[in-house]
Amino acid sequence: MGIPYSAEKDDVYYPAKRAVFFPNGRPRSDAALSVEMARLAYCRIDTNFAFDQARIRKVLAGIQFTDCKFFESVNAPDCGGSHAFLALDGNRKVAVLSFRGTDKDDPSDLGDDLDIRPHPWQGGGSVHSGFDKALQEIWQRVKAALHEFSEYQFLFTGHSLGAAMATLASTLQAPKSLYTIGCPRVGDQVFVDQLRGLDNHRYVDCCDLVPRVPPEACGYAHIPGKIQYIDFNRAVHELDPDDPYIAADQTKAEEDYLENYAWRIGDVALRPLADHAPVNYVLPVTAATP
């Protein structure tokens, strides 16, 4: 289909390092807008974990967003923690809440990812303790901002850990739509059942490892319904998660990766890691925009 694919380590571990955001201007679809906003959340200062607010504001101004609110853990600049921004389009009354995913260099993010103990959720059921902790670090300030701009239509988004936080947030205040990319399982069946009826768009890139964890054997489940599956050829399909097409496509993709990428210097060794790179979501989803 002519859509680029990246296996490079920098695109997996430092998603904003080489990114050119919104090169063709504001996308026509909420999906393409949200997926790129999820990648934009990785913009940080080179010397610490704080948002690069100047860069983010410049990108947003270029696509007609009029303001942005930033939310970070109190220890974010020095020791990492949770990060989210609320991009505001005051003319169209649209706002995008984007949560940052795991920063490879942030030990607090890694600790949150690994703390898979089930924890009771305020709305019912149980959720991943680390994801809950990450959201609670900033939620009260996010909640206040959502209330302040209550006349806006909200889109929630995030990649990886950010997608998990966006999912949790959607049970506390329902957005117009939820767009997650490379989202892990967040809670048990009782928890995810709270999200039935939500306009949910869960994107899964081919062999991406993260949507497979934590395991179902530990009691975790995904939000019911179809997924937006990005195949080996970079086309986006709406499929049931157990569609036989997916297994066959993943096998083909793994074989191609071993032949063409796994041995190259600068590439990650495994396709399930490469497929988690935000750029490998952004490009197909943007190309699929009508």
Report the CATH number that the domain containing residue 29 is assigned in CATH. Answer: 3.40.50
Name the residue type at position 239: L
Q: What is the mean pLDDT of the chain?
A: 95
pLDDT at 189 over 70: yes
Q: Where are the beta strands (DSSP E) in 13-128?
A: 67-72, 83-89, 94-99, 118-120, 126-128
Asked if the structure places residue 1 within a domain, the reply is no
Contact status, residue 16 vs residue 42, Cβ threshold 8 Å:
yes
Q: Would the CA dihedral through 204, 205, 207, 211 be positive or negative?
A: negative
pLDDT at 46: 85
Three-state DSSP state, 179: strand
Asked if the structure places residue 263 within a domain, the reply is yes
pTM: 0.96
pLDDT at 18 over 60: yes
Bridge partners for 238 per DSSP? 228
Asked if the structure places residue 182 within a domain, the reply is yes
When divided into structural domains, the chain yields a total of 1
Asked if the structure places residue 209 within a domain, the reply is yes
pLDDT at 105: 87
Domain span holding position 160: 9-287
pLDDT at 110: 82
Asked if the structure places residue 200 within a domain, the reply is yes
**Active centre residues (catalytic):** 160, 208
Asked if the structure places residue 61 within a domain, the reply is yes
